[in-house]
Amino acid sequence: MRAARLIKMVLLLQSRPSMTAAELASELEVSERTVTRDAQALSEAGVPVYADRGRAGGYRLVGGYRTRLTGLHRSEAEALFLSGVPEALREMGLEDAASAARLKVSAALLPSLRDASRTAAQRFHLDAPNWFREPQTPVLLPAVADAVWDDRRITARYRRGEDEVVRELEPYGLVLKAGVWYLCARVAGGGSFRVYRIDRFTAVDTGEERFEREPEFDLPAFWEERAEQFARSILRARVVVRLSPDGVRRLPYALDSLSARESLADADAPDDDGWVTVALPVESEEVAHAQLTALGPEVEVLAPESLRERFAGDALRLAGLYHPRDGV
């Protein structure tokens, strides 16, 4: 434990001109007294750590000293490619590996380039979850992530409706979609590839047996295909609407954007008032009611009649709420 901390201290000092005891203590998660002892131990071991006294003082390496302890472990190298998604790293338990990898890369750079990670972080940040929702990290995510990194088979128990199902899986990859974690896995024994929501797992047992990955498997391509299939599979109903020009513009933001744009592309030319009649695939009448309500008076439902009646009822209720007040 101490040896790893001493190496990290050297790499920190190698990547920056100097650091105060407080800064080192914060980075190393120890007390300033421990920093002092560690600096003395490094000096006794031949590492030229020099302490400047005074308010502007701190620790630095003398004479351009450079350590050769900058080789990346495999886990650090893999985590480095995910370093732009800090929340995902934390949730998968890879934050320490990514931190060590970034530090080693910084230590190996020329002095003029050592602030590259800081300047990049100031200019780009990925915030994956949707607005107005508090993402919940699945308890079993770190265990699943370990199996994905090590290519180890897992026995997973997960909720499917009101039942629980047990499957032996070969975990190929993880996907974070709008704050929700999914596992792309193949059923063990040469089965099909499937997608599982990790927050529905109730137990995961990682065995010692490794599986052989299919070299042609492409996680982004697989996810794109399955996501499109899923989006289309749930659009089982159909409604017909008239849209104003503003309704046409806002439709892709109210419904599934791909289906909305495809439907608009197949629509007839606008009428004399500029309104367009469109047939839309939707998940259900209930969902369509909630989605199309966002368009307000920019949409008129033509079919089915039951949905049109529902909007007519909404219009009457709104008229009652917004009738002119007495004296206004």
pLDDT top residue among 312 and 43 = 312
DSSP state of 233: H
pLDDT of 105 higher than 60: no
- Stretch 299-314: mean pLDDT, rounded? 95
pLDDT of 296 higher than 60: yes
Residue 80 pLDDT class (50, 70, 90 cuts): very low
Cα(196)–Cα(202) distance, integer angstroms: 12
Nearest alpha carbon to residue 152 among 165, 143, 161: 143
Extract the tokens encoding 91: 């949730």
How many residues would you count in the chain? 328
All residues at 6 or more sequence positions from 234 whose CB lies less than 8 Å from its CB, including other chains: 283
Highest mean pLDDT among 83-92, 106-115, 276-285: 276-285
User: Among 21-35, 94-108, 230-244, 284-298, whose mean pLDDT is lowest?
Assistant: 94-108
Residue 294 pLDDT class (50, 70, 90 cuts): very high
Long-range contacts of 190-195 (CB under 8 A, 24+ apart): 193/217, 193/222, 195/223, 195/226, 195/230
User: Among 9-13, 219-223, 239-243, whose mean pLDDT is lowest?
Assistant: 9-13
* Beta bridge pairs of residue 194: 185
Q: What is the largest CA-CA distance in the chain?
A: 89
The 10s digit of each residue's pLDDT in 215-239 is 888 888 899 888 888 877 888 899 9
Cα(206)–Cα(183) distance, integer angstroms: 14
Cα(316)–Cα(309) distance, integer angstroms: 11
User: Among 98-112, 142-156, 186-200, whose mean pLDDT is lowest?
Assistant: 98-112
Nearest alpha carbon to residue 76 among 106, 99, 107, 92: 99
Residue 172 pLDDT class (50, 70, 90 cuts): very high
pLDDT of 112 higher than 60: no
Q: Alpha helix (H) ranges present in the chain?
A: 2-15, 21-28, 32-44, 74-80, 86-92, 95-108, 116-123, 141-150, 219-233, 245-254, 257-266, 285-293, 305-321
Other C-beta atoms lying within 10 Å of the C-beta of residue 220: 9
pLDDT top residue among 259 and 55 = 259
The torsion angle over the Cα atoms of residues 305, 306, 312 and 315, rounded to 10 degrees, is -140
288 close to 280: Cβ distance less than 8 angstroms: yes
Say if residue 34 is exposed, middle or buried (CB neighbours under 10 Å; 0-12, 13-18, 19+): middle
Cα(75)–Cα(233) distance, integer angstroms: 38
Residue 194 to residues 224, 255, 311: CA-CA distances in angstroms?
13, 26, 39
Task: Give pLDDT, residue 166.
Answer: 94
Cα(99)–Cα(119) distance, integer angstroms: 16
pLDDT of 69 higher than 60: no
Share of the chain above pLDDT 70, in %: 75
pLDDT of 328 higher than 50: yes
User: Among 12-26, 108-122, 285-299, whose mean pLDDT is lowest?
Assistant: 108-122
* Beta bridge pairs of residue 178: none
Cα(61)–Cα(48) distance, integer angstroms: 6
Cα(115)–Cα(105) distance, integer angstroms: 11
